[in-house]
Structure 1
Amino acid sequence: MKEKIKIFLDSDLLEKYLLGTVTDQEALQVERYIAMYPEVRETYNELQENLEAFAKLHAIKTPEGLKERILVRIKAENSTRKRFFRYAIAASFATLLFAGASYFFWNQNQSLQEENTIVSNKIKDLEEDMREQLEDVRNQFIVLNNPQTKKYSVKGNKKAKELKAVAYINPVKKLSYINVEKLPNLPENQCFQMWAEVNGKMVNLGVIKEAVSQEKLLALPYSDKAVGYITIEPKGGNQTPTVENIVANIAY
């Protein structure tokens, strides 16, 4: 019986159940195990508390003023359309006289449609960004709470002795993250940059900012034989890593 419970807990059904991604049959199985086995119920409650903590920590705020800008845009559209119809009615009584005015308002309407398209595209981009952020939070939650995740301590070499980081690798879910806990001080014209060598290609993961590194995990490209690097680069980052300035290696 204990082996059966262990196999269930090693799977990701509890995490998927919490995130609402299980099938109806899987949901019934999870609910049955929660009701029957105290170990499963305890793990479920713990995961639920962790998920709530993650949701609060990584809550995505709507950009300030977005609602007001959209309302202003809607009011502007309504106002413009009302003006258009009033002038159109007047134009029906003097078509020749107001032919030029009709063209003007047609041109204005075309401009308004273009602006509406721009606003719609920006809203779609915002929705996509939010979706990606939520997916990243979900993956972080799985990595930190899945028993198959491996944890590796990363320390800097003599060029960055104070550098400390923790890498989290889950070979089953094929997810990799790193939390840079501490960064040594650098001159203003230098920065730390992260890289990953995947299938023989070097991938630029961007500049590591201390404020960001202390608050969240940074995603790493997953590969069976990937290697990560942290280097010291000129301010703003580099296109290719400076090999002689490698300060930490992360093999995963």
Structure 2
Amino acid sequence: MKDKIKIFLDSDLLEKYLLGTTNNQEAMQVERYIAMYPEVRKTYDELQDNLEAYAKLHAIKTPDGLKENIVALIKAENTGRRNYFRYGIAASIAILIFAGSSYFFWDQNQSLQEENTIVSNKIKDLEENMREQLEDVRNQFIVLQNPQTKKYNVKGNKKAKELKAVAYINPVKKLSYINVSNLPKLPEDQCFQMWTEVNGKLVNLGVIKQATSQEKLLAMPYSDHAVGYITIEPLGGNDTPTVENIVANIDY
């Protein structure tokens, strides 16, 4: 046992422990030996006293005014921190203002882009509508002025004796129009509606309005040997024609 203690004391583990340079395993060994063996404990206490004496002997006197300098530095540091804190607050406010303004301008930009898209779409719709109207006017001119256009007078049956219309059919240009020149007066809950049968399929051409019946031609889908109808339907029009309310036939 004494050889074991002697080997331990001859090592530098106690000195390293006092200086705080041992690893975890070495520190645990030193603390265990100090607790178990009085000889090791005595040596440890002597080394600790010697280390304190050496530290006092070689201690450096505190320079004059050091305390005042430290206090001044602390105050300056606190002032700096307060200023830094203030600058930090100011910077944070500036960042928030910048972020808010950025979001505002971004939101405004998004709104402008949306409005621009809406306006662009409206312009496109207007252009398309104008193009269709110009195309329709051109076709009407062709139908009315072309010598190959055939005219068919349309008269109403006994349910609408006053109904008068003229159908214009151009087999060369494959254009068909009808001009309703007169419509009998109907009850307020009824209207005239036009249909055409093309290649076995029934096409709804819409409600014929009294106010506009003499203002322009109504386009009809062209087909060889097509058949058209004018019916009396509930106000607003119907999805399918009411057969018993057919008031005029248009064969072309």
TM-score range for the pair, normalised by the shorter chain length: 0.5 to 0.7
Most deviating of 123-132 and 95-104: 95-104
- Displacement after TM superposition at 1:213 (Å): 1.1
Corresponding residue for 1:3?
none
Alpha-carbon shift at residue 101 of structure 1 (Å)? 2.1
* Alignment-derived partner of residue 153 in structure 1: 153
The aligned counterpart of 2:108 is 108
| Offset of residue 99 of structure 1 | 1.3
Aligned to 2:194: 194
Which amino acid counterpart does residue 104 of structure 2 have in structure 1?
Answer: F
Q: How many residues align?
A: 161
1:14-163, aligned counterparts within 5 Å? 94-95=94-95, 97-163=97-163
2:99 and 2:158 map into 1 onto residues whose CA distance is: 79
How many Å separate the matches in 2 of 1:104 and 1:129?
Answer: 37
Per the alignment, in what secondary structure is the counterpart of residue 112 of structure 2? helix
Measured after TM superposition, the shift of residue 103 of structure 1 is 1.5
Per-residue CA deviation, residues 221-252 of structure 1 (Å, 9 max, x unaligned), is 00002110000000000000000000000011
Deviates more, 1:150-159 or 1:97-106: 97-106
Q: Partner of 2:103: helix, strand, or coil?
A: helix
SS of aligned partner of 1:98 = helix
Within 1, Cα distance between the matches of 2:102 and 2:128? 39
**CA deviations over 1:165-222 (Å, ceiling 9, x no partner):** 0000000000000000000010000000000111111100000001211111100100
CA RMSD in angstroms comes to 1.6
Identity within the alignment, %: 87
**Residue in 2 aligned with 1:204?**
204
**Structure 2 vs 1, CA of residues 155 and 98 (structure 1 numbering), >3 Å: closer, same or farther?**
same
TM-score, structure 2 as length reference:
0.62
Separation of aligned partners in 2, 1:145 and 1:203? 27
Aligned runs of 1:216-231 on 2, under 5 Å? 216-231=216-231
**TM-score (structure 1 length as normaliser):** 0.62
Cα distance in 2 between the residues matched to 1:231 and 1:219: 17
Alignment partner of 1:242 is 2:242: yes
Equivalent residue, structure 2, for 1:52: none
Structure number with bigger Rg? 2
